[in-house]
Amino acid sequence: MSLSRRIRNIALSQISAIQDRLNRIDAEAALEAERKIEQKRMERDARDELDDPAAIKPVMRSPEDIAAGVVRQPASSRPESGNRPSAYIGQPPISPAPSTPTAFGGSPASQLDSARQLHLHYKVLGLEDGADFASVQSTYNKLASRCDPTRFAEGTEDRKMAEGIKKRVDAAYQALRDVLDSTSGRFDKLELE
């Protein structure tokens, strides 16, 4: 086996390992968002039931639904902005897209969401929560060099996968840099003539 083929195989195995880790992180984040939405729905239904127990109507299930194990939740008769149409009851909720935190201001709920987002960014880089900026920077440099798209031929699936991974790693590094490095904002806004 030639040296170039060995190097390519090593690069592909590294990219595959990084992609697998990112897929696990995405699955955990989606599951957490789904649990959060389900808990909010259950709390809302409990409040509605306490307000007016007669407003909740039982849902009749067909024999096919029972055989398939489909569980349909009763819909409240009162229209609320949080309720989904009855056609979507029993289907998994759509999880919201993650956003990049910019600061730790705002309500405690927004601070909790910011902390969760930072946790995800640390996980993308493969670091423990609360790691210092120097370790974030060194880990970013290692990951960026490992998933450099220029290592693969133009137009291949491997290159597309490497570009996607590089974008995720860059986004995680930028978010952590904005939070951990107070001087980064000043230099980003600096204009040279």
**Residues of the domain holding 29:** 1-97
- pLDDT beneath 70: ranges in the chain: 53-59, 72-112, 185, 188-193
Residue 13 CA to chain centroid, in angstroms?
A: 24
Q: What is the pLDDT of residue 169?
A: 92
pTM exceeding 0.75 = no
Domain end position, chosen among 97, 116, 146: 97
The SS3 of residue 56 is strand
Q: What is the pLDDT of residue 188?
A: 67
Q: How many structural domains comprise the chain?
A: 2
User: Are residues 2 and 92 located together in one domain of the fold?
Assistant: yes
**Rounded to 5 degrees, what are φ and ψ at 132?**
-75, 170
| Strand partners for 56 | 76
Domain end position, chosen among 70, 97, 124: 97
The span from the CA of 87 to the CA of 80, in Å, is: 15
The span from the CA of 33 to the CA of 94, in Å, is: 9
User: Are residues 26 and 73 located together in one domain of the fold?
Assistant: yes
The SS3 of residue 117 is helix
Domain end position, chosen among 97, 113, 142: 97
User: Are residues 186 and 165 located together in one domain of the fold?
Assistant: yes
The span from the CA of 57 to the CA of 15, in Å, is: 51
